[in-house]
A and B are shown apart, each in its own frame.
Chain A
Amino acid sequence: MDFNDTPEEAAYRAEVRKWLDANAKRKASKKDTLEALSGTDALQRAKDWQRKKAEAGFACITWPKEYGGQGGTSIQSVIYSQEEANYLVPTGFYDIGLGMCIPTVLAWGTEEHKARYVGPAIRGEEIWCQLFSEPAGGSDVAGLRTRAEKDGDEWVINGQKVWTSGAHYCDYGIVVVRTDPTVPKHKGLTMFIVDMKSPGVEVRPIRQMSGEANFNEVFFTDVRVPDSDRLGQPGDGWKVALTTLMNERLAVGGGGGADWSELVDLARDAELADGPAINNGAVRERIAQWYVETQGLKYTKFRTLTALSKGQTPGPESSISKIVSAPKMQELGSFAMDLQDIGGIIRDRDISAQNATFQNQWFGGAGYRIAGGTDEILRNIVAERVLGLPQDIRVDKNVPFNEMPKGK
């Protein structure tokens, strides 16, 4: 058991490092990171970087060569990510598309789909969003109400999606809709690829509690989608969606934001009423706790990667990552604000400690505990699918969708 690179892996790492050195700036400080991620031209910079990466063969490393990937190993992909994390490069815009949507296209799409969509996505030319959640249900996504009716060679979509991250800059989306309301809810769904520029698609930004507007409402009014852009068979939409959701657990697990090491930085600077924060037992206890959690997640990921590299598919156990990291993100932000005493209320990049990272994370953490499977739903998944406990009594399983009890 070890983390050592094999000679081939070491050679690959050296190659990656050489390319990154030539094409990106190494991070000098933590502040550097923030600067690189913000700004109005962030999207364009992300597109430029994705194209560069693709041209050099470092984008979507594990995907098949025939569709524009590299046919590489998961370990190579990990090596690349580990190295890239040391450089100032834009991130974020491609996580959903390349992490969740395109893997679904690869798993369920026709040859035409793969030939048409995968390449431009890898090169960053087309960005994708995930159109699943609706006002009527996010946890219970299969309770969705947006419907599609067949009209000749086309489907006509009407309804509304919500919380769609990035829809305002996306080119395509995968959308799951109800094509048969007379059968139980999981059986009447179908997945489509939708061009976000189609007539009848209207994207309205939703402002988050934190002030930014990164997600949207998306309205569909008589939107026509060719039958050829269907993913899977009519009625198979739920199975297709599960592919996306499984990938979501892998793609979003990490969380990010400030961690124990930023907290150590802060604690070394901060003065509590009774002395330096770093000497305070309660502070030391929290640092220890978050270190242990972060390490636990990191090595859990290594175990998953090892399994992946042996050809196994990750199961519902990857849910544990977000169960730990989402509340941690919120609590760590909150505790770091405590260390700044009443000054912790200031949320100003120019005044607050570490550019207001902690205040922003305290806001963001509240959303992250909900996005991509809530804390509660992820626990249900672990309890039911990993530990084999019985499901809650389901009143909706065998009832036709149009006869199901509904609330607000």
Chain B
Amino acid sequence: MNFDFSDDQKMLKEQVSKFLSDKCGYDVVRRVLESDELYAEDVWKGLVEMGLTGTAIPEEYGGLGLGALELCVVAEELGRVAAPVPFSSSVFLATEAIKLAGSEAQKQKYLPKLAAGEIIGTLAMAEGTNAPSPRTVKASLKGGKLTGTKMPVPDGEIADIAVVLVNTGGSGDKALSLAIVELNGSGISKEQLKTIDPTRGHAALKFDGAAAELMGAEGEGWDLVRRVLDGAAVWTAFEQVGGAETAMWMARDYALERYAFGRQIGSYQAIKHKLADMYVKIELARSNSYYGAMMLNDNGAELIEAAAAARISATQAYIYAAQENIQTHGGIGYTWEANTQFFYRRAKLLALSLGSQLYWRERLVTQLEARNAA
């Protein structure tokens, strides 16, 4: 058994970590939070220069031709610093959707540009405050024209292309298809949304007969998008574990330096147990994430269960660590000035971004049931 990343993967992790600690400190996160900047373009450019946007894109399409595991280590480091960049939208979602469902022509057209960071991609699923599903998705694709409103779309304002979940009129789960649309064409309006985490921009995209192409077979959209989400769930779990660890260490450091009643607050069991619980949750999440990574990399038979387990435990770990980090800080933790807020916001954003816990528990148990019956 060798349930660990390789030395090369660890070196990549080291390299990304070094770049981000130099270039993506809290000052950068705060700058994006407090300004009109939609993302940290400087950090994004650096990631592109390192070739990371092409990590898992085959060499024939201009990528580095590495696998899922390399993206895991990158994700963890991005999460650790709460990086305000469109990496997840462009790489985990748009790129993977095209790799999975795109025609040869579509791959030729978009993957090299995505790899080179010349364009940013995103995945547009939701239409407001209901979970996207064959029953709620109404945006339509008829005769190459896309109509409807998608929101919230991650990085919708800065993205150049979007993979869009559309309703093509089939029955039941076959109602949905994927379409690909270039966002600088006509018949598209974009509006930035106010969200709980302005360090990761989200927009409403209104399509009014915008030119779009079907991607993948008609009626396969729901199946395809869920497969894309399974993969993204694993990478996001690493991002969540990275963020959770930062929140935990922030709380731990403060527990050592803050005194109450003449003692370090870290000497009180209420605080010790809180920190120990963070650690336990994070380690469980990390282990589940490793298994998810293995399944994803090997296209293993238990990918759905593994992805859901990684996602659920990483969500729980990050939410808990971020919220109890604030609690450990007391009043100062609840201020705008404190950096605790970055992780509170991001933890909840990531908890919702690929569908809430309710979606993932359902997906997990449905799968377990099927396995049990087989």
Could you tell me which A residues sit within 8 Å of B by CB distance? Answer: 133, 137-140, 143, 162-163, 206-209, 211, 270-275, 277, 280, 282-283, 330, 334, 337-348, 351-353, 359, 362-363, 366-367, 369-371, 374-376, 379-380, 392, 394-396, 399, 404-408
Given the contacts A270-B129, A271-B133, A341-B132, A399 and B262 also touching, CB distance less than 8 Å: yes
Whether the Cβ atoms of A346 and B194 lie closer than 8 Å is yes
A270 to B358, CA, bound (A): 12
A24 to B202, CA, bound (A): 41
Given the contacts A209-B336, A330-B323, A374-B327, A345 and B264 also touching, CB distance less than 8 Å: no
Which residues does chain B contribute within 8 Å of A277, judged by CB atoms? 358
A348 to B331, CA, bound (A): 26
Whether the Cβ atoms of B129 and A340 lie closer than 8 Å is yes
Contact of B335 among A133, A208, A346, A396 (CB under 8 A): A208
A93 to B149, CA, bound (A): 41
Whether the Cβ atoms of A280 and B261 lie closer than 8 Å is no
What are 23 inter-chain pairs, A to B, with CB distance below 8 A? A137-B260, A206-B337, A208-B335, A209-B338, A272-B133, A272-B362, A273-B132, A275-B135, A283-B358, A337-B348, A340-B129, A343-B126, A343-B152, A345-B195, A347-B195, A351-B128, A366-B326, A370-B327, A396-B261, A405-B262, A407-B258, A407-B259, A408-B257
Whether the Cβ atoms of B323 and A366 lie closer than 8 Å is yes
Shortest C-beta distance, A368 to chain B (Å), equals 9
Whether the Cβ atoms of A273 and B348 lie closer than 8 Å is no
- Asked if B228 is at the interface of the complex by the 8 Å CB criterion, the answer is no
Whether the Cβ atoms of A345 and B349 lie closer than 8 Å is yes
Given the contacts A208-B335, A271-B131, A392 and B195 also touching, CB distance less than 8 Å: no
Whether the Cβ atoms of A345 and B259 lie closer than 8 Å is no
Whether the Cβ atoms of B259 and A408 lie closer than 8 Å is yes
A357 to B341, CA, bound (A): 19
Whether the Cβ atoms of B260 and A139 lie closer than 8 Å is yes
Contact of B130 among A206, A341, A348 (CB under 8 A): A341
Contact of A207 among B258, B260, B327, B336 (CB under 8 A): B336
A395 to B194, CA, bound (A): 48
Whether the Cβ atoms of B356 and A344 lie closer than 8 Å is yes
A351 to B130, CA, bound (A): 12
A404 to B262, CA, bound (A): 6
Contact of A338 among B261, B271, B357 (CB under 8 A): B357
Which residues does chain A contribute within 8 Å of B338, judged by CB atoms? 209
Q: Whose C-beta in chain B lies nearest to the C-beta of A364?
A: B334
Which residues does chain A contribute within 8 Å of B136, judged by CB atoms? 271
Whether the Cβ atoms of B261 and A408 lie closer than 8 Å is no
A115 to B351, CA, bound (A): 56
Whether the Cβ atoms of B348 and A140 lie closer than 8 Å is no
- Asked if B321 is at the interface of the complex by the 8 Å CB criterion, the answer is no
Whether the Cβ atoms of B131 and A272 lie closer than 8 Å is yes
Whether the Cβ atoms of B264 and A407 lie closer than 8 Å is yes
Whether the Cβ atoms of B319 and A334 lie closer than 8 Å is yes
- Asked if B268 is at the interface of the complex by the 8 Å CB criterion, the answer is yes
Shortest C-beta distance, B35 to chain A (Å), equals 15
**B151, B263, B264, B337 pick with most chain A CB within 10 angstroms:** B263
Shortest C-beta distance, A272 to chain B (Å), equals 5
Which residues does chain B contribute within 8 Å of A344, judged by CB atoms? 129, 352, 356
Which residues does chain B contribute within 8 Å of A283, judged by CB atoms? 358
Shortest C-beta distance, A65 to chain B (Å), equals 39
Given the contacts A209-B341, A209-B344, A341-B126, A282 and B358 also touching, CB distance less than 8 Å: yes
Given the contacts A271-B135, A341-B130, A345-B349, A282 and B361 also touching, CB distance less than 8 Å: yes
A353 to B344, CA, bound (A): 21
Which residues does chain B contribute within 8 Å of A143, judged by CB atoms? 259-262
Whether the Cβ atoms of A274 and B362 lie closer than 8 Å is yes
**A133, A348, A392, A404 pick with most chain B CB within 10 angstroms:** A392
Which residues does chain A contribute within 8 Å of B271, judged by CB atoms? 376
Contact of B353 among A340, A342, A363, A379 (CB under 8 A): A342
Whether the Cβ atoms of B262 and A341 lie closer than 8 Å is no
Which residues does chain A contribute within 8 Å of B193, judged by CB atoms? 346, 348, 351
- Cβ < 8 Å to A, chain B residues 248-274: 257-264, 268, 270-271
Q: Whose C-beta in chain A lies nearest to the C-beta of B345?
A: A209
Whether the Cβ atoms of A406 and B270 lie closer than 8 Å is no
Which residues does chain A contribute within 8 Å of B357, judged by CB atoms? 338
- Asked if B197 is at the interface of the complex by the 8 Å CB criterion, the answer is yes
A394 to B267, CA, bound (A): 11
- Cβ < 8 Å to A, chain B residues 302-349: 319, 323, 326-327, 330-331, 333-338, 340-341, 344, 348-349
Whether the Cβ atoms of A347 and B194 lie closer than 8 Å is yes
Q: Whose C-beta in chain A lies nearest to the C-beta of B322?
A: A366
- Asked if B125 is at the interface of the complex by the 8 Å CB criterion, the answer is yes
Given the contacts A337-B352, A338-B352, A343-B151, A208 and B336 also touching, CB distance less than 8 Å: yes
A289 to B331, CA, bound (A): 29
Given the contacts A341-B359, A376-B271, A140 and B335 also touching, CB distance less than 8 Å: no
Which residues does chain B contribute within 8 Å of A274, judged by CB atoms? 133, 362
Q: For the A-B complex with A341-B352, A395-B263 known, give 20 more contacts whose Cβ atoms are closer than 8 Å.
A: A143-B262, A206-B337, A208-B336, A209-B335, A271-B135, A282-B361, A341-B356, A343-B128, A343-B130, A345-B349, A345-B352, A346-B151, A346-B152, A347-B196, A359-B196, A371-B331, A376-B270, A395-B261, A407-B257, A408-B258
Whether the Cβ atoms of A370 and B331 lie closer than 8 Å is yes
Which residues does chain B contribute within 8 Å of A351, judged by CB atoms? 128-129, 193
Contact of A345 among B336, B348, B362 (CB under 8 A): B348
